Copies of this chain bind each other. A is one copy, B any other.
Amino acid sequence: MLPKQSHFPAATMSPPSMAAVYDKHGPVDTVIRLTEISPKEISEKDVCVKMLAAPINPADINIIEGVYPSRATLPAVGGGEGVGEIYFVGSAVKTLSPGDLVIRSPYIPGSWQTYMVEEESLWHKIHEDTPIEFAATVSVNPVSALRMLNEFVTLKPGDSIVQNGATSIVGQCVIQLARLYGIHSINIIRDNPGSDEVKEKLIKLGADKVFTESELNVQRIKTLLGDTPQPILGLNCVGGNSATLVVKFLKQGGTMVTYGGMSKEPVTISTSNFIFKDITLKGFWLQEWKLEKTKYRDWIDYLLGLVRDGKLKYEFDSVHFEEFHTALEKAMGRHGSQRKQILIF
């Protein structure tokens, strides 16, 4: 980190920023390039942040491809989440000082660059002891896990939840948060080689049960559950058969929340699941939850507190920003299943 200091040059321009820029929407690896962009004026209410780390999230890729509902004004800098250290503050800035560790909140586009200038209210100061990789990635996946466990059904200790995509960061956070709250988690993973190792890992994180999809296709679900109660909440980020398996686990009157569609297959549910099993299907999109800034920042602080206390963790790959294109290829799944790619500036 930079030393806390107040003797910055009088100039109200940011340093030039190295950025991952795209001029048009399209296949992300053909439209995006690293380039230096000009210094920006820092007005009296602005804060200039030296970015430290930013992840490559699937939504970032979709936005650049132009397949996301909200489009950027072009040319644009990619990325959305990220953490940085305050480099310079405008004269009217009251709550932040150079050296503060801040994350972008609410989520606004343009985190894949070395310096950013945005007004004071868009930055949220976090505890200086927070590991930057967790700070960089807390506001999308872990917040989604937290909100999905809280907003759809009322869970109490002893209840169960079921999820697919359990190895994702959301999945890992769901397992750990559920365990913290005394809630059983039933986890569905794909039939990839090494699934026994994956099972062991997730059980170590706090999972109660982990099944591959093919184990569920051949066995009665109630037998597999044993003493674990049937779940009242299901989380689906896969779709297709995997979503159908989540619904199979659900108790009468249960709710399945869809927050992703990794298989690119739709959700298919029989009429009798609606009528006789009284299943509710809902969707979750973090965008919708970001409007209440104060609450959103509380959730972030809570989660980063858990990280600092060693109660929440997940795996990622740190990659230097110069290796952007390699990280992008990995994030796009070109090299098989990969951990979250975090750009370090």
Contact = CB atoms under 8 A, between A and B. Distances in A.
Contacts of A239: 271
Interface size class of A (residues with CB under 8 A): 20 to 34
Contacts of A270: 261, 266-267
Given A266-B268, A267-B268, A269-B266, A281 B285 contact: no
A74 interface: no
A282 interface: yes
Q: Kindly report how many copies of this chain are found in the complex they form together.
A: 2
A280 B277 contact: no
A259 interface: yes
Nearest to A263: B271
Nearest to A262: B271
A270 B261 CA distance: 8
B269 A274 contact: no
A317 B21 CA distance: 70
A266 B273 CA distance: 10
Nearest to A238: B271
Interface of A: 69, 239, 258-261, 266-285, 288
Given A268-B268, A271-B261, A283 B278 contact: yes
Contacts of A284: 274-275
A280 B278 contact: no
Given A260-B271, A280-B281, 11 more contacts: A260-B275, A266-B270, A267-B271, A269-B281, A273-B283, A274-B281, A275-B283, A275-B284, A276-B285, A278-B283, A278-B285
A317 to B, nearest CB: 26
A281 B270 CA distance: 12
Contacts of A274: 258-259, 267, 281-284
Contact of A266 (B69, B260, B271, B275): B271
